[in-house]
Amino acid sequence: MYSVKESDWKLFRKLLPEWQERFMGKLLGEYSTMIAGQGLASDRFWRLQERLQKDVRKTGVRAEMKRSVLIMNLRSLLREGAISKDDLDGFSEELRQSLTTCF
């Protein structure tokens, strides 16, 4: 079981806003495509509203900032596509190993 190192926690807190900003930019691009798509404006509106409700709960948009959920947050970010394994450079080998067991 991984015990959160101070250096990993500090790096996570530093990088998370950058990751979230990048992820939300990606989402905005997807929303733009949805809005500009074909079909009734009302259908596009309601699809967008439904998508927003789902996306706002993603870790790439809103993360719980507790050490105890660091690994869970990183796993969610990886699963959502908000980060890649390359984004884990700089974290301890122990942390990266604990994440690779599930991917």
Closest by Cα among 23, 1, 11, 15 to 81: 23
User: Structure pTM?
Assistant: 0.89
Query: Token pair of 69, please?
Result: 């959920």
What are the per-10-residue average pLDDT scores of the chain (103 residues)? Answer: 89 98 98 96 97 97 94 96 96 91 59
Q: How far apart are CA 59 and CA 79, in angstroms?
A: 10
**What pLDDT was estimated at residue 103?**
54
| Residue 70: how many other CB atoms lie within 10 Å | 22
Closest CA to 91 of 79, 81, 77, 58: 77
**Domain residue limits, the chain:** 6-100
Q: How far apart, in whole angstroms, are the C-alpha atoms of residue 103 and residue 8?
A: 19
pLDDT in the model for residue 1: 65
